């Protein structure tokens, strides 16, 4: 066996393991090497300047990509505005008044259209931008398989149905992941994205004042954190859009403190803290709280896996000229 055949068989084995089914590798690391050689530089410059302006944008991009992939595949449908043919996913409950980062993708797309017109999909731009956002905030770097194409439509009801909510039990969240070929470990690992970014008060206020209709705070929430969150999110409707960091300890650094927080009852969202309520997920949380290296490695692996969900390739979809509208 010569070197190239070893490489090839390793690659097929990787694809096999990755997707759990017998499919060929649809994406390719070198997809744009000849058609857009400066792609990675252009994307990284755009992400760098967006994060330099506002650190929170790293988390916003990560969330945008996750919401795109989990609703009906990583095909850039979340980037589409309303049109006469469909309602935008931006109007779906999990995205409305919370999805951010569209201007960052638009700016990168505009630069790419100058360098290599009608070549790079919006879905690939978002996937690459998220890798850079994680890396630039201190997280791992990984290579992104490319060649995704953009959807011709958006599906608001899919976004409403498929994006996990912070109020759901673990089994419901897990079901939404497994429906897309992701597993329980991916739930734990990708939840680690909450090591950066902020959440609006309405997503966790029930834990501060009226947990499960008890009229009391969530008994699993650390007392000191409870007091500080109550001051950020007083028990009034007008505090609903105030922001609290998902990781109180190191909110702008991509590290493993998200897991350390869960271990000491300091997770912000109920959907995060419940990872400690199941043996199988709790043991992984404890493991990642101790071993940042393995969290980084597994996060990169799960992100590549997420990036394969429902991709359009070959002749399917299109390469949008403007990420907000179909051609």
| 54 vs 237, beta carbon nearer ligand NAG | 54
Q: Which of 9, 10, 12, 53 binds ligand NAG (CB under 6 A)?
A: 53
| Contacts to ligand NAG from residues 203-242, by CB under 6 A | 222, 224
**Residue number, 14 or 167, with CB nearest to ligand NAG:** 167
- Structure-token pair, residue 322: 């403007």
Q: Which residues contact residue 196 at a Cβ distance below 8 angstroms, ignoring those fewer than 6 apart?
A: 55, 56, 58, 59, 62, 137, 246, 247, 251, 252, 253, 254
168: contact with ligand NAG by CB under 6 A? yes
Q: Do the annotations mark residue 65 as ligand-binding?
A: no
3-class SS of residue 322: strand
Are the C-beta atoms of residues 150 and 318 closer than 8 Å to each other? yes
Place of tokens 């493993």: 256
Q: Report how far residue 151's alpha carbon sits from residue 267's, in angstroms, rounded to the nearest whole number.
A: 35
For ligand NAG, what does the binding mask look like between residues 187 and 206, x meaning CB under 6 A? --------------------
Specify whether 65 is catalytic: no
Nearest partner of 302 among 288, 289, 313, judged by Cα: 288
Which CB atom, from 56 or from 131, has the smaller least distance to ligand NAG?
Answer: 56
Interacting residues with ligand NAG between 241 and 260 (CB under 6 A) = 249, 257, 260
| List 38, 83, 118, 327, residue binding ligand NAG (CB under 6 A) | 38
The secondary structure of 220-274 as a DSSP string is: TS-HHHHHHHHHHS-SSGGGTT-EEESSSSSTTS-SSHHHHHHHTT--SSHHHHG
- Restricting to residues 69-128, name those near ligand NAG by CB under 6 A: 115
Rounded CA gap, 229 and 208, in Å?
7
Q: What one-character DSSP code corresponds to residue 212?
A: G
Nearer to ligand NAG, 178 or 264 (CB): 264
Phi, psi of 209 (to 5 degrees): -125, -30
Catalytic residue among 56, 65, 67, 260: 67
Interface with ligand NAG (CB under 6 A), residue total 23
Q: Which of 228, 264, 316, 327 binds ligand NAG (CB under 6 A)?
A: 264
Contact residues for ligand NAG (CB under 6 A)?
37-38, 50, 53-54, 115, 155, 157-158, 161, 167-169, 172, 222, 224, 249, 257, 260-261, 264, 266, 279
> What residues are labeled active site?
67
Binding residue ranges for heme b: 194
């Amino acid at each position: 066996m010569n070197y190239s055949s070893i490489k090839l068989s390793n690659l097929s084995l990787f694809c096999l393991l990755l997707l759990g089914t017998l499919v060929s590798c649809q994406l390719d690391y070198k997809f744009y090497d000849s058609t857009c050689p400066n792609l990675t530089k252009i994307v990284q410059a755009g992400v760098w300047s967006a994060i330099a302006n506002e650190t929170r944008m790293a988390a916003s991009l990560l969330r945008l990509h996750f919401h795109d992939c989990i609703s009906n595949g990583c095909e850039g449908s979340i980037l589409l505005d309303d049109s006469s043919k469909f309602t935008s996913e931006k109007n779906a409950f999990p995205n409305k008044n919370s999805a951010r980062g569209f201007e960052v993708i638009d700016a990168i797309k505009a630069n790419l259209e100058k360098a290599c017109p009608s070549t790079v999909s919006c879905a690939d731009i978002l996937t690459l931008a998220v890798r850079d956002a994680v890396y630039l905030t201190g997280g791992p770097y990984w290579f992104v398989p490319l060649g995704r194409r953009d959807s011709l439509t958006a599906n608001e009801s899919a976004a409403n149905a498929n994006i996990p909510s912070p109020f759901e039990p673990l089994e419901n969240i897990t079901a939404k992941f497994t429906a897309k070929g992701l597993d329980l470990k991916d739930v734990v690992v990708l939840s680690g994205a909450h090591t950066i970014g902020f959440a609006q008060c309405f997503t966790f206020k029930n834990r501060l004042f009226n947990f499960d209709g008890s009229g009391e705070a969530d008994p699993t929430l650390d007392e000191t954190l409870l007091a500080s969150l109550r001051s950020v999110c007083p028990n009034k409707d007008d505090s609903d859009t105030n922001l609290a960091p998902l990781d109180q300890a190191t909110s702008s650094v991509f590290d493993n403190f998200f897991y350390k927080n869960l271990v000491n009852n300091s997770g912000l969202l109920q959907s995060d803290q419940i990872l400690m309520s199941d043996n199988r997920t709790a043991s992984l949380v404890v493991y990642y709280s101790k071993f940042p290296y393995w969290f980084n490695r597994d996060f990169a692996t799960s992100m590549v896996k997420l990036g394969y969900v429902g991709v359009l390739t070959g002749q399917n979809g299109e390469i949008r000229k403007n990420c907000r509208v179909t051609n």
